Amino acid sequence: MASRYGPLPLNESLRDITTDIARVPLQMPARVPWLIALILSLSLLALFLGSITYLFARGVGIWGLNIPVNWAFAIHLYVWWLGLGHAGTLISAMLLLMGQDWRNSLNRFAEAMTVCAVICAGMEPIIHLGRPWFLYWMFPYPATMAVWPQFRSPLEWDVWAVMTYLIVSILFWYIGLVPDLATVRDRARKRGWQVFFGIFALGWRGSARHWAVWNKTYRTIAAIAVPLVVSVHSEVSLLFAAGQIPGWHSTIFPPYFVLGAAYSGFAMVAMIAIVMRHTFQLKQIVTERHLDVLAKVTLAMGLMTAYGYVFEIFDGFYSGDAHEIATIHDRFFGIYAWSFWGAVIFNFVPIQGLWFDRVRRSPVLLFLISTSVVVGMWLERYMILVTSLYKDFLPSSFGHYTPSFWDWSTYIGMLGLFMTPFLLFVRFLPSISIFEDKEVLAREKEEAAHA
Amino acid sequence: MPEPILGLLAEFGNEEALLEATKRARGEGFRNIDAFSPFPVEGMSEVLTLKRDHRVGWVTLAGGAFGFLGMLAVQLFVNWDYPIEVGNRPLFAWPAFFVVDFELMILCAVLFAVVGMFWMIGLPKLYHPLFSAPRFGLASEDRFFLYIEARDPKFDHEKTRTFLGSLGALTIEAVRP
């Protein structure tokens, strides 16, 4: 039972928290389910590698891309993956600065999810390049050809935004992990584990001097990471604004993209939290109260995203521009109307259940609603791209897009690229923050003692 | 003559006891002291007077400035060195440049902050004599330790041990090199 002082149950002790979490990497309580998941994700990864091998051999023509729809799966999934990742940083950084204790049971695996999602996101524009082996042309190095990259191009913005986001996410995640690596190092009894955790804990001793500097650095990076998240997804929306296509120029785009990103990401975190607390019996650390708060945040983000939908449509009509209005009309009634209405239904109908306490605290219902959100946001990104691209200004250049087999195989395979590193993380590292939960528990106990 | 020791390590059961003990040790005049805990103890940096250290902020600011100005210089230079004129649009496209510039400002600020942090706390340092103290491993579980170094001018093995005992330490160990 959750205490009335905070998210963690008061009958836990500091030692319980350590054992509960450190036992996952050290003893692995769910060996068989983990192995099955790993085999599944490795087969998906193999599908991905096969797909991109064929892609590199034959070129992007194997996808359903054409002119006018020359951005499809690769770019829509780039936006989608990057969006999933954003919740990890927001949970970690923004909620840390706002002093939200409940984030401490979620931040570690949410950040790991961010890193995995950003790896997938970064992969998408690279495989879309056509000649990905010239990727290094994007960097300003003194080439013998005496040319430089074009920094006025949105493609350059992607490179630097994703690279920065990936490196900052990894560093933020790692420095938060160091004290816990030391904890697991001290608990490990086998030589191999001691060396493994010993090296990555870097000799952390938990000295007050360490903590003082660590605390300042962690909070400083958190304060920098929040505007970074906003800037990265705003950059993605500006990438659309740079294209001369109707439907991509509403001024709501940057906040609408960022909120939609956080929305899908929070839903993803809820899904992972539900699976993990069930598989590793961590119900006393990721409590119903955590699910409740996550559901509330998801609901709030969803309603703000819905506002984005309304405003985007309003903006199109308000512009008075015939092409803008035609694009909105196509979204409502065109041949891709299923993606618009699908996004509306998956995104905004099931989450209405989250107004009710009983739904928020039910892992099964919350999982189903979150899945619906992730699917809905997938459809939304598809809708924004394809419904704008397939009809531009001249009827002679209208065209259709249907994803090919290789579009789907690359996408489904990429789920393996997401899941494989995440499963390895869950297996080998403390996937919930040990020391931050102890901090919460110590504070709760103190408050309870003085109450 | 007994074998030299590096200091005395006293164990406490909770963070209030550690904070109180550290205060008393400071009050007693000990200066080369350190406290170890499984999580940051609120108020500890005031007791150890670590609060007025603003180096992290400055290092981060330096990183941010370096990234921002450096990347701006790169973008201006490449457009000057290899001008691509497209429909008479300006070569120095400030709004476009600031996208990449902002990202690099953040990247360098964070890189400086992380490297600076490890440099300030002297890590990585995989071995430390404290690790050979048998109970020290509990500092990452649920125990709180106060460490008084032997090089402190006020240190005297017997007297300091008695003093630590009077603070209510659960165990007191000598740390040897």
Residues A18-35: tens digit of each pLDDT: 888 888 888 888 889 899
pTM assigned to the model: 0.91
pLDDT, residue B51, reads 67
> Residues 126..165 of B with a Cβ closer than 8 Å to A: which?
126-128, 130-131, 137-142
Average pLDDT over residues B85-93: 85
Asked if the structure places residue B166 within a domain, the reply is yes
Query: Measured over all CA atoms, what is the biggest interatomic distance in chain A, rounded to whole angstroms?
Result: 76
* pLDDT at B148 > cutoff 80: yes
Pairing of strands B33-36, B171-175: unpaired
Report the alpha-carbon distance of residue B52 to residue B96 in Å, rounded.
40
CB contact under 8 A, B110 and A175: no
| Same domain, residue pair B66 and B85 | yes
Contacts of A118 by beta carbon, 8 Å cutoff, 6+ apart:
A81, A82, A85, A162, A165, A166, A169
* pLDDT at A397 > cutoff 90: no
Q: In terms of CA atoms, which chain B residue is nearest residue A17? A: B141
| Same domain, residue pair B13 and B47 | yes
SS3 B149: strand
Mean pLDDT of chain A: 89
Sort out which chain B residues have CB atoms less than 8 A from A228's CB and list them: 103, 106
Report the alpha-carbon distance of residue A115 to residue A418 in Å, rounded.
9
Copy the structure tokens of residue A264: 């899908």
Q: Which of A183-192, A233-242, B67-76 is most confident?
A: B67-76
Residues A271-303: tens digit of each pLDDT: 999 998 888 888 888 888 888 989 999 999 999
For tokens 């983990």, the residue is A34
From the list A175, A183, A211, which residue is nearest B114 (CB)? A175
The 3-class secondary structure across A413-443, one letter per residue, is HHHHHHHHHHHHHHHHCCCCCHHHHHHHHHH
| Same domain, residue pair B171 and B85 | no
CB contact under 8 A, A228 and B106: yes
pLDDT, residue A423, reads 93
Domain boundary among the residues B96, B120, B144 is at B120
Q: How buried is B16 (Cβ within 10 angstroms: 0-12 exposed, 13-18 middle, 19+ buried)? A: middle
Pairing of strands B144-149, B33-36: antiparallel
- Going by pLDDT thresholds of 50, 70 and 90, the confidence category of residue A372 is very high
| Same domain, residue pair B44 and B59 | no
High-pLDDT (> 70) share of chain A, %: 98
| Same domain, residue pair B62 and B107 | yes
Q: How far is CA B161 from CA A296, B132, B157, B171, in A?
A: 53, 19, 6, 10
pLDDT, residue A207, reads 87
High-pLDDT (> 90) share of chain A, %: 45
Report the alpha-carbon distance of residue B57 to residue B52 in Å, rounded.
11
Report the alpha-carbon distance of residue A313 to residue A330 in Å, rounded.
12
Give the sign of the dihedral formed by CA A224, CA A414, CA A268, CA A215: negative
* pLDDT at A448 > cutoff 90: no
Sort out which chain B residues have CB atoms less than 8 A from A220's CB and list them: 56-57, 60, 113
Average pLDDT over residues A222-230: 91
Q: What is the count of structural domains for chain B?
A: 2
Other beta carbons within 10 angstroms of residue A230's beta carbon come to 20
From the list B97, B107, B114, which residue is nearest A164 (CB)? B107
CATH code for the domain in which residue B151 is found = 3.30.70
Asked if the structure places residue B67 within a domain, the reply is yes
A414-428, B20-34, B92-106: range with lowest mean pLDDT:
B20-34
* pLDDT at A346 > cutoff 90: yes
Asked if the structure places residue B1 within a domain, the reply is no
Asked if the structure places residue B37 within a domain, the reply is yes
Contacts of A99 by beta carbon, 8 Å cutoff, 6+ apart:
none
DSSP structural state of residue A350: G
Contacts of A250 by beta carbon, 8 Å cutoff, 6+ apart:
A256, A311, A312, A315, A316
**Mutant choice from B22, B111, B140 vs A, greatest count of A C-beta within 10 A:** B140
Alpha-carbon distance A151 to nearest alpha carbon in chain B (angstroms): 7
| Same domain, residue pair B13 and B60 | no
SS3 B147: strand
pLDDT, residue B2, reads 58
Asked if the structure places residue B161 within a domain, the reply is yes
Residues A39-65: tens digit of each pLDDT: 999 999 999 999 999 999 998 989 988
**Between B171 and A271, residue with greater pLDDT:** A271
Average pLDDT over residues A351-374: 92
Sort out which chain A residues have CB atoms less than 8 A from B22's CB and list them: 208
Report the alpha-carbon distance of residue A355 to residue A349 in Å, rounded.
12
**Between B109 and A9, residue with greater pLDDT:** B109
Structural domain including B67 reads: 55-120
CB contact under 8 A, A216 and B57: yes
Mean pLDDT of chain B: 85
From the list B34, B57, B128, which residue is nearest A220 (CB)? B57
The identity of residue A390, as a single letter, is Y
Report the alpha-carbon distance of residue A369 to residue A416 in Å, rounded.
23
pLDDT, residue B74, reads 92
Cα of B154 vs its chain's centroid, Å: 26
The helix (run of H) or strand (run of E) holding residue B34 is strand B33-36
Report the alpha-carbon distance of residue B155 to residue B161 in Å, rounded.
9
| Same domain, residue pair B112 and B144 | no
Ranges of each domain in chain A: 16-433
Average pLDDT over residues A330-343: 93
- Going by pLDDT thresholds of 50, 70 and 90, the confidence category of residue A5 is low
Q: In terms of CA atoms, which chain B residue is nearest residue A225? A: B106
| B97 vs A: CB within 8 A | yes
Sort out which chain B residues have CB atoms less than 8 A from A215's CB and list them: 40
> A334-339: long-range contacts (C-beta < 8 A, 24 or more apart)?
A334/A387, A334/A391, A335/A400, A336/A383, A336/A386, A336/A387, A336/A390, A339/A379, A339/A380, A339/A382, A339/A383, A339/A386, A339/A387
- Going by pLDDT thresholds of 50, 70 and 90, the confidence category of residue A173 is very high
From the list A157, A186, A215, which residue is nearest B140 (CB)? A186
* pLDDT at A1 > cutoff 50: no
First-last CA distance in chain B:
16
Average pLDDT over residues B73-99: 88
Residues B33-85: tens digit of each pLDDT: 888 888 888 888 777 777 677 888 999 999 999 999 999 999 999 989 888 88
Report the alpha-carbon distance of residue A329 to residue A270 in Å, rounded.
35
| Same domain, residue pair B38 and B64 | no
Residues A301-326: tens digit of each pLDDT: 999 999 999 999 999 999 989 999 99
* pLDDT at A153 > cutoff 50: yes
From the list A198, A208, A231, which residue is nearest B34 (CB)? A208
Q: In terms of CA atoms, which chain B residue is nearest residue A167? A: B107
Nearest to A26 by CA among A356, A431, A435: A431
Q: How far is CA A39 from CA A25, A64, A204, A415, B169, in A?
A: 18, 30, 35, 13, 51
Sheet (strand B171-175) strand order: B33-36, B144-149, B7-12, B171-175
| Same domain, residue pair B113 and B95 | yes
Nearest to A79 by CA among A389, A380, A311: A380
Rg (CA), chain B: 25
3-state helix, strand, coil in chain B (%, to 5): 50, 10, 35
**ipTM value:** 0.89
**Between A338 and B151, residue with greater pLDDT:** A338
From the list B84, B121, B141, which residue is nearest A210 (CB)? B121
CATH topology assigned to domain A16-433 = Formate dehydrogenase/DMSO reductase fold (1.20.1630)
Alpha-carbon distance B1 to nearest alpha carbon in chain A (angstroms): 31
Contacts of B30 by beta carbon, 8 Å cutoff, 6+ apart:
B148, B152, B154, B155
Average pLDDT over residues A341-357: 93
| Same domain, residue pair B61 and B105 | yes
* pLDDT at A4 > cutoff 70: no
Nearest to A176 by CA among A251, A112, A82, A260: A112
* pLDDT at B87 > cutoff 80: yes
High-pLDDT (> 90) share of chain B, %: 23
